[in-house]
Structure 1
Amino acid sequence: MKKNNTADFSYHLTKFFTEYLPVQRNLSPNTIASYRDTFRLLLIFYDTEKNIKPNLLNLDMVDRKNMEDFLLWLKEKRNCGSSTCNQRLGALKSFFSYLQFALPDKALECQKALAIKPMKQSEPELKYLTIEGIKVLLEQPDISTKYGRRDLALLSLMYDTGARVQEIADIRVSHIRFSAPTTIRLTGKGSKTRVVPILSRTEDILKQYIKEFRIAEQGNETYLFQNRGGQQLSRYGIGYILTKYTDMAREIHPDLIPEKLSPHCIRHSKAMHLLQANVNLVYIRDLLGHTSVTTTEIYARADTALKREALEKANPLKDSPSMPQWKDDEGLMDWLRNLI
């Protein structure tokens, strides 16, 4: 990495974002935006903690020691959790992977940075709603109002498809096929697409919503869900809508609605309900758009734990007296001694 060259970092960072990520890695705009946030934080770190302005930063300063200091700063100064720190580390490692090919004579320094181990983190709790909880949630939108009917269409489709929140936000009119069987095309991580069937009840709700809001009249490339200004409903907007109705549902049935229910919990709910209905994991994998069934197995593990807990509660022997210790049984001890 060139000495006293303050342009090398900015040059390679630009190449990283304009060529390597979108072209060679073919990453989605959302992933690239997440990587961009990581490097924005990295520049703040160098400015506030190392007193190095962005225009003076060069590649010699971007080494393993400073990367470890950056991760520690995220955890201690910005109170980031281990999963967030590991996500930032993934973006940094992608940059060093690019650098070792762009600058092969500096492969050793890159390998040192790539060897940084992720922070240990406990397996997150898998939050999801029961079928009764989903029913309560879907009862909350006021269907006597126009936007209440829009919100019902949104929540119904989220649950029916088990889609990620960004996948829902990105749906356009052309992605829906209403001829039997009704399906919707979703684009997930890595720009991978999958076709998901829609149940008849959700189909009816969607048709009514599209007709009432005249969505199809705006063209096939119109976003399916729009805000009050006619713009694409963002993932944050979808999160706001979900929070609104989960808060309402929690007031009615606090035992059915957990705290801090995110859009991803609706996806978890769909997967768990399919698993509990004995749907094959391979089908659930395809529905959710997982690249491997190993990822889908988290639902099987969670369901097994719940079944074990239920069996423990129903165990008629749980309060039975414990078996006597063989060491305290003098008759058994005498018998064992006589065997010799």
Structure 2
Amino acid sequence: MHLTEAVEGYLAHLSDVRRLSVATVRSYRSDLAHLASALGDRVLADVDVEDLREWQWQAAKSGQSKATAARRASTVRGFFAWAVEEEIVASDPSQRLVSPKRGRTLPVVATADAMERVLAATAEHAAGGDPVALRDHALLELLYGSGARVSEVCALDLDDVDHERRTVLLRGKGDKDRVVPFGLPAARALEAYLVRARPALRARALEASTTPDAGGDGAATRGPNGRGKTREVAPGAGRAVFLGARGARLGPRAVHTLVTRTVAPSVGTEVLGPHALRHSAATHLLDGGADLRAVQEILGHASLGTTQIYTHVSAERLREAYRLAHPRA
């Protein structure tokens, strides 16, 4: 079997059998495409460890970071392990592949005061009653209040929110569900959005999906009497919690734009995506005395080691406070 054919089989395995997310499979595809580009469409059984080392060496010379190199090496190991299991190759050349040690960078975290300023500003803006402003405030409150991933919040349906218990049902990586609590400020912002703003945003989608009695762009559907019919132009938006300005389900890119515009200036950095709210929520939970395993459950981490990065963030903040405040520091 040739390399490109084997890659497609492995990606199908990741998607259909292991049920990894679309984004994760896309990342695997990118890494293996880089390998295929370097080696060419060779017979997979002919690839040996020297080929893989040469691939790593050429990538390092081109300026590839240690983190990228380590990730790609891990991807290739998983690929060849699958190929051995499927009896496509007799041995695994990637077992002798060495991954560079990557330094662990601490995530960017907003201070609690900065988050208070951001949420107070969005609440003030939402008080004017604009549907998008109400949505933005509820979205930021929920992201920070639950520590959820952006993709998880964008995928929320109305039935996933338990208003009485103040919890949301999140679908994480690998289609793993977890129930996460959120606080009273997020509950109030969410209720205001659902009652006062969401119906207006939803109406925009319904207006856009109603075709005129005559004319149009050729996309109209017509009933027996020849009149225009309502056609859903945003499938699934009727169940979505967060809607875009045109009434469709809100996407991660729009959330990234929102965070960059509203949160980043208060934190003092331009490189701040929505994931920083998740980092901030985790760090502030630990700063407040939350148990590490409880934070692991809230974030949906499979490994406690992944959650432990936030203990390093808290320790760094403690050291900085000591350095600035203690006379003998």
In the other structure, the counterpart of 1:41 is 34
> Shift in Å at residue 29 of structure 1?
2.5
In the other structure, the counterpart of 2:250 is 233
TM-score (norm. length: structure 2): 0.78
Residues 242-261 of structure 1: matches in 2 within 5 Å? 242-247=259-264, 249-250=265-266, 256-261=267-272
CA shift in 2, pair 1:69/1:187, >3 Å? farther
Maintained 8 Å contact 2:45/2:90: no
Aligned with 1:25 (options 11, 18, 36) = 18
CA shift in 2, pair 1:210/1:45, >3 Å? farther
In the other structure, the counterpart of 1:275 is 286
CA shift in 2, pair 1:140/1:317, >3 Å? closer
Residues 68-83 of structure 1: matches in 2 within 5 Å? 68-77=53-62, 79-83=63-67
Separation in structure 2 between the aligned mates of residue 292 and residue 43 of structure 1, nearest angstrom? 31
Maintained 8 Å contact 1:173/1:223: yes
What's the secondary structure of 2:179's corresponding residue? Answer: strand
Q: Deviations over 1:293-337 (max 9, x none)?
A: 33322222332233234334444445xxxxxxxxxxxxxxxxxxx
Pairwise CA RMSD: 2.7
CA shift in 2, pair 1:207/1:61, >3 Å? farther
CA shift in 2, pair 1:272/1:45, >3 Å? same
CA shift in 2, pair 1:74/1:266, >3 Å? farther
Q: Gaps spanning 5+ residues in structure 1: where?
A: 1-6, 47-51, 251-255, 319-340
In the other structure, the counterpart of 2:143 is 158
Residues 291-306 of structure 1: matches in 2 within 5 Å? 291-306=302-317
CA shift in 2, pair 1:64/1:226, >3 Å? farther
Q: Which moved more, 1:211-220 or 1:284-293?
A: 211-220
Maintained 8 Å contact 1:173/1:219: no
Separation in structure 1 between the aligned mates of residue 100 and residue 17 of structure 2, nearest angstrom? 28
> Shift in Å at residue 75 of structure 1?
4.2
Indicate whether 1:121 and 2:105 are aligned.
no
Q: Which moved more, 1:98-107 or 1:154-163?
A: 98-107
Residues 7-26 of structure 1: matches in 2 within 5 Å? 8-18=2-12, 20-26=13-19
In the other structure, the counterpart of 2:213 is none
Maintained 8 Å contact 2:112/2:284: yes
Residues 78-227 of structure 1: matches in 2 within 5 Å? 79-103=63-87, 106-107=90-91, 110=92, 112-141=93-122, 142-143=125-126, 144=128, 145-178=130-163, 180-211=164-195, 212-214=197-199, 222-227=239-244
Q: Gaps spanning 5+ residues in structure 2: where?
A: 204-234
Q: Which amino acid aligns with 2:148?
A: A
Separation in structure 2 between the aligned mates of residue 40 and residue 139 of structure 1, nearest angstrom? 46
Separation in structure 2 between the aligned mates of residue 72 and residue 139 of structure 1, nearest angstrom? 51
Q: Which amino acid aligns with 1:242?
A: V
Separation in structure 2 between the aligned mates of residue 136 and residue 96 of structure 1, nearest angstrom? 50
Maintained 8 Å contact 2:144/2:281: yes
> Shift in Å at residue 157 of structure 1?
0.9
Maintained 8 Å contact 1:174/1:220: no
CA shift in 2, pair 1:42/1:104, >3 Å? closer
> Shift in Å at residue 60 of structure 1?
4.2
CA shift in 2, pair 1:187/1:11, >3 Å? same
What's the secondary structure of 2:263's corresponding residue? Answer: helix
